[in-house]
Amino acid sequence: QAGGRSLMPAQDLHLHVQQLLVPVLVLVLGAALVVDNTAAIGQQQAIVEDHFDSSCEQEREQEHFLSPSYDETHSRAAAENAMHVTLHNGVVVPSLAFGMYQMTTDEVASSMDAAIEAGYRHFDTAAVYRNEHALGQYIKTRLAAHKLTRADLFITSKLSPSDQGYEEAKAALQRSLDQLGIDHLDLYLIHWPGVRGLAVTDTKAKEKRAGSWRALEEAYAAGKVRAIGVSNYMVNHIEELLANCKVVPMVNQVEQHPQLYQPDLLKLCKSNNIVLEAYSPLGQGHLLKEAPVVALAQKYNKTPAQVLIRWGLQHSPMMAVKSSTPSRVKENFNVFDFEIDQAGMESLNNMSEGRHFCWDPYTVA
């Protein structure tokens, strides 16, 4: 004790100083962290804003790193846009149609279930497929189970070659509507430029298909079909139709795949706002093991089938694909999340040798 005051031992004084300094240090460090965090937030915001400046590549990459959901959202939006095509009359069509060729009545229900679950909303049938009634029954009895209505589907059917001609086509369209149990088709096509019972060289086919087209134009005007088109029409058939029609066809559905790349037909269709819709994109399975296809499948981590479908969609954004195997039905639809580069497209284009795996309409007069 000195001068009436008690003196603290040295070790107690040292402990007391520590107790006083700890809160001060915490406050100082906390302030530094706040300043640092504020700077980081400011930097991140600047990076996000710089994303919209196309000259700031480094900042764009950082922004994507900081906000990975941007790319995911952008990809989903791009895929959604790519999944539809708008015809020249304004009708919006799902790009991928689920083809029903050679599908038996017994297969329709299970195949439709798998297709709808995979995301298909466009269904492609025809009078000659003999499954319009089964599709109609599915719409009537099972579609509601998927929480869908007729308005959610895009239905395509086709005029049989045995029904070519003005009166015949009018009656055939009504039969298809009755078989399907619906009051209109979304797309109706003349299935083939020829006429059943006529030789492919018989020029009477021209008069018959002209009459069929006039019937389709009238049905379109009456609202029985939302869009009309043709199938298996080559350059000469399209040019003939364009010279005489009142309504330019919205669609031309033809066989197209890397071994049957048809740039002249594609160019003619595009120049007249006709969407070329490809069918048989896999060449009936014959193209799945071709070296250029396999190489691109490995490059993009996709299946050969997905590469072939993607190739077709990059040439023209509408296609009919077919499978009765649920896993492949889903696989065929999963083609909107990648794009084949120009070199890859050329490698597949160069496979073309004019090979038809289906019908050859070039000989039809």
For the annotated catalytic residues, the residue numbers are 129
What's the rounded Cα separation, in Å, for the pair 82 and 122? Answer: 14
Tell me the three state secondary structure of residue 203: coil
What is the per-residue DSSP string for 211-259?
HHHHHHHHHHHHTSBS-EEEES--HHHHHHHHHH-SS--SEEEEE-SGG
Residues in the chain: 365
What is the per-residue DSSP string for 18-44?
HHHHHHHHHHHHHHHHHHHHHHHHHHH
- The alpha carbon dihedral of 207, 212, 216, 221 has a sign of positive
What's the rounded Cα separation, in Å, for the pair 113 and 143? Answer: 9
Name the β-bridge partners of 189. 158, 229
What's the rounded Cα separation, in Å, for the pair 281 and 344? Answer: 16
* Whether 317 contacts 85, CB under 8 Å: yes
Q: Which amino acid is at 153?
A: L
Contacts of 93 (CB under 8 A, 6+ apart): 84, 85, 86, 87, 122, 154, 186, 187, 227, 275, 318
What's the rounded Cα separation, in Å, for the pair 361 and 191? Answer: 11
Beta strand 96-99 pairing with 319-321: parallel
What's the rounded Cα separation, in Å, for the pair 88 and 5? Answer: 101
* Alpha carbon of residue 130 to chain centroid: 26
Q: Which amino acid is at 190?
A: I
